[in-house]
Amino acid sequence: MFDTAVIIETVVKAVIVVAVIAALAGFATFIERKVLAFMQRRLGPMHVGPYGLLQLAADGIKLFTKEDIIPQNAIKPIFMIAPVIAATTAFVAMAAVPYFPEFTLFGYTIHPIISDINVALLYVMGVASVGIYGPLLAGMSSANKWSLLGAARAVVQMLSFEVVSGLSVLAPIMMIGSLSLIDINDAQTGGIGDWLIWKQPLAFVLFAIAGFMETNRAPFDTVEFEAEIVAGYATEYSGMRWGLFFIGEYANMITISVLVSIIFMGGYNAFWFIPGGLMMLLKVSFWIFLFLWVRAAWPHVRPDQLMWVCWKVLMPLSVVNIVITGFALL
């Protein structure tokens, strides 16, 4: 059914992507602590290794060796599987995301995408929304009221932003006429002026807001905000199970950053003397930084305000945007 070479190539790519993204997710936690610290006039981790870099390893070891506690009354199989769902869906979504321009290694052309498909965008968004089952199942199986509230918030939040993110990418799709992320990237080859962000500023803003909601980042981090609902769905989790939620969240952050970079900000096209691969890294880094910047700057919203803004502001706006785009294109 499959060519052996294809299988081997896919396995190798998948191993690299999972390993690199998992490592990056860990590194992102360190970056987050450092960036937030500098914005808050303090130093952040400083004692473990140079500039606290080994803090990362220390945290990893701590998580690895922590006791795995399953509370009484919890529905055990679901409780155990929920974090795996959260992490897995975050990584599976990356199967259709291109990261770099294709390049040649040892005379072999490599496409830095695990699987190039023509409905990549739909696939990524679909799989990412399956990820909601992680928090939902975790919250409902923990037998803890805070967890249940967290799960309810997660669902309400997901139901709200999903409509917006779906509608906001429609306008770029109308302009390009393809759901493949590689096609979308190739449509923006002509330098900064060609980026979709200029033609679709509204869609860009809407999609970015939906991205913040999808990753549970401030100002929409209602799902596990400790001052209100302790740790939300993750209240009863400890050790590596909690760590999986964590990795999933940061992997999601990276996916969203990559998606926004590709759809609206010219993707991995080379710019001036900067090669495309580096451009992509720069853009993703910028987005990660933006996530942290917003967290440092703003208070966060109430769950009902989040719903309000999604259904009554963002959704009508994105519909209007689609209509305008339709008329402008024809």
Partner 1 sequence: MSENLFLASCIVAFLTLFLPLLFLASARLGPRSETKNKHMLYESGISSPIGTSEGRMSAKFYLIAILFVLFDVEIIFMFPWALNLRELGFLGLFEMLTFILLLAAGLWYVYRIKALSWQ
Partner 2 sequence: MPKAFLERFEKEVSIDAYGAYKLDASLILQALHVLYQNDGYTFLVDMTAIDYLHQPSALRRFAIVYLLRDRLFSNVITLKIDVDETLAIDSIASLFKSANWAEREIWDQYGIHFKNHPNLKRILNHKEFIGHPLRKDYPITQGQLCHKSDDLMDEMTPRLKRKGIESHDALMFLNLGPAHPASHGTIRTFVALESETIRCAISEIGYLHRGFEKSCENHTYNQIIPYTDRLNYCSAILNNIAFAHAVEGILGIELPDRAQFIRVIIGELSRMIDHLVCLAAILVDMGALTNYWYLYNPRESVYDLLSKLTGARLTNSYMRIGGMSHDLYEGFEHDLHVCLKAIDTGVGDTLTLIEHNRIFHDRTQNVGIISQEEAINRSLSGPNLRACGVAYDLRVNAPYYHYESFDFDMALGSVGDVYDRIMVRFEEIRQSKRIIEQAMKRLPQGAVCVADRSISLPPKHEVYGNIEGLMNQFKLVFEGVKVPPSESYRAIEGANGELGFFIVSDGSPKPYKVKVRPPCFYAMAAYPSIIEGGMIADAILSLGSLNIIAGELDR
Q: Cα separation of 43 and 304, whole Å?
A: 35
Residue with smaller CB distance to partner 1, 44 or 116: 116
Interface with partner 1 includes 82 (CB under 8 A)?
Answer: no
Give, as ranges, the residues between 227 and 246 that touch partner 1 (CB under 8 A): 230, 235-236, 239-241, 243-244
Interface with partner 2 includes 236 (CB under 8 A)?
Answer: no
φ, ψ of residue 192 to 5 degrees: the values are -60, -35
Range in contact with partner 1 (rule: CB under 8 A) among 42-50, 140-148, 198-206, 211-219: 140-148
Q: Cα separation of 62 and 49, whole Å?
A: 16
Q: Which positions from 94 to 123 touch partner 1 by CB under 8 A, shown as an x/- string?
A: xxx-----------------xxxxx---xx
Quote helix, strand, coil % in the chain, to nearest 5: 70, 0, 25
Q: Which positions from 267 to 306 touch partner 1 by CB under 8 A, shown as an x/- string?
A: ------------------------------------xx--
Give, as ranges, the residues between 125 and 164 that touch partner 2 (CB under 8 A): 145, 148-149, 152-153
Interface with partner 1 includes 68 (CB under 8 A)?
Answer: yes
Cis-peptide into 219, omega within 30 deg: yes
Residue with smaller CB distance to partner 1, 29 or 115: 115
Q: Cα separation of 212 and 257, whole Å?
A: 10
Residue with smaller CB distance to partner 1, 83 or 267: 83
Q: Cα separation of 143 and 263, whole Å?
A: 41
Residue with smaller CB distance to partner 2, 140 or 179: 140
Following DSSP, what letter does each residue of 97-161 receive, concatenated? Answer: ---S--EEETTEEE-SSS---TTHHHHHHHHHHHTTHHHHHHHHHS--HHHHHHHHHHHHHHHHH
Q: How many residues at the interface with partner 2, by CB under 8 A?
A: 31
Q: Which of 110, 130, 155, 281 binds partner 1 (CB under 8 A)?
A: 155
Return all residues near 1 (Cβ < 8 A) that are at least 6 apart. none
Interface with partner 2 includes 46 (CB under 8 A)?
Answer: no
Strand partners, 274: 271
